[in-house]
Amino acid sequence: MKINDVILQTVTKIVVFIILTFGVELFLSGHNNPGGGFIGGLVLSSAFVLLYLVHDIETVHKGIPFDFKKIAALGAFLAVGTGIGSALFGKHFLTQAAGHFTLPVFGETELSTVLVFEAGVALTVVGVVVTIISTISEDV
């Protein structure tokens, strides 16, 4: 029996973007406030899971043609990379640096290498969650 999920599909089109935006917001608000890579990553991956629920796997993979295992590996690489980066500069392993920069659009902004680390964590979480979900659901 084909399930009639027109409402779900229509709502998803909007909601996915709200979830993605919220994920990015959570990710960026980390460091000093609640949020950060792990939570942001979980919210981002929940958007993908919602897409998997509404459409079937093939359709989603056509739209997002990434190998999520590699995304997880890339994330882990970024996270470990920041640690090694500090070692290259003669600092203790995993030392983070921060500084204030004036960027064209954002104005005065605080940028930190933690951001790269957290981005790595977020990518890892997204990659791992989506990989797990697709592994379970592949042959249902």
- Looking at the Cβ atoms of 12 and 123, the one nearer to another protein is 123
Q: Between residue 109 and residue 128, which ones bind another protein under the rule CB under 8 A?
A: 128
Minimum separation from the CB atom of position 130 to another protein (A): 11
Alpha-helical (H) ranges within 55-112 are 57-63, 68-88
- Is residue 115 within 8 Å of residue 64, measured between CB atoms? no
Residue 107 DSSP one-character state: E
Measured in residues, the chain has a length of: 140
Which member of 84, 98, 101, 109 binds another protein (CB under 8 A)? 84
Residue 31 DSSP one-character state: T
Q: Between residue 48 and residue 77, which ones bind another protein under the rule CB under 8 A?
A: 69-70, 72-73, 76-77
97 binds another protein (CB under 8 A): no
